[in-house]
Amino acid sequence: MRRPLISGNWKMNLNHYEAITIVQKLVYTIPNETYETVDVSVHPPFTDIRSVQTVIEADSLDIFLGAQHCHWDDHGAYTGEISPVFLAKLDVDYVVCGHSERRELFGETDEMVAAKVEAILRHEMLPIMCVGETLDEREAGVTEDKVLAQVRAGLADRSAEQVASLVIAYEPIWAIGTGRTATADDAQAVCAAIRSVVSTDWGSDAGAAVRIQYGGSVKSGNTTELMAMPDIDGALVGGASLDADEFARIVQFAAG
C-alpha cells in the first residue's frame, strides 16, 4: 500500500526563525502515531533549510526535509541557482521540480524539468514532479493531453525503478492560490490517468508504486474527500501549510 505524503510548500514565505517555530509547533501538534501511516515533508525557502535541518536532526523528528527547486547541473556559472549537490549535503529528502509557478513565471520547460528530475535522482534525493493545466486548457478539454505530455516529457529516459520511487504532483494551475479546488472526482480522474500512463510506459509495478499528490488550494476541509480517492496518495499544500495548526489537521485527516 502506498503511504500518503503530505508536503508543505512554504514558497517565498517565512524567515529561518519563523520556519523553526512552525516545525517545532508541528511536532507538538501532530500525534506521534500519525507518522506511522503518513509521511510529512516541509519545503522551506533556501535560506531556511539549514536551520530546519538542524531542528529535525537534533530532535530526531519524523519529518522529511524538502527543497522547492534546484538546478540540473552540479556546478557552474549560474548566479542565483542552487546545485543539487548543496541540497544533498544538507540531507534534503525531496525536491519539488516543475512547479507551475516555476513553469509559468520563470519559463521552465519540460526539458528543464526532465534534467532536474535526473539530477535529483542522481544525488539520491526524490523528485516531486509537478504537472498541471491552465484554466484555458481545462475549458478547452485538453487537461489530460497537457498533463500526460508533461509526465512523459519529465520522466523521459528514467528507469521503471526510478519512476516507481518518485512523486508526481497534479496541481491544476487555475486552482493554486485562488481558493478554487478541483472536485475530488475531477482530481481523481486526472490522477488515475497519470497512473495509467506510468503503468503503460514504465510497467504495472511502477504504476502501482508511484505516489501521486494533488495540489491546489488544499485545506483541512477538503483533505478527507481528496484522500479517499484511490489514486490520490497525498497533497502538495501551499498557503495552508504556513499555519501549523491547519497543516497539522491536514496531516491528521490524511492519516485517516
CATH architecture of 5-255: Alpha-Beta Barrel (3.20)
pLDDT tens for the chain, 256 residues: list them.
799 999 999 999 999 999 999 999 999 999 999 999 999 999 999 999 999 999 999 999 999 999 999 999 999 999 999 999 999 999 999 999 999 999 999 999 999 999 999 999 999 999 999 999 998 999 899 999 999 999 999 999 999 999 999 999 999 988 877 777 789 999 999 999 999 999 999 999 999 999 999 998 899 999 999 999 999 999 999 999 999 999 999 999 999 8
Q: What is the pTM of this model?
A: 0.97
Per-domain boundaries in the chain: 5-255
Question: Cα–Cα distance between 97 and 7 in angstroms, integer?
Answer: 13
Provide the phi-psi class of 217: left if phi over 0, else alpha when psi is between -120 and 50, else beta.
left
Catalytic residue among 101, 108, 118, 171, which? Answer: 171
State yes or no: is 99 an active-site residue: yes
State yes or no: is 16 an active-site residue: no
Handedness of CA 16, 68, 238, 107 (dihedral sign): positive
Catalytic residue among 69, 99, 108, 123, which? Answer: 99
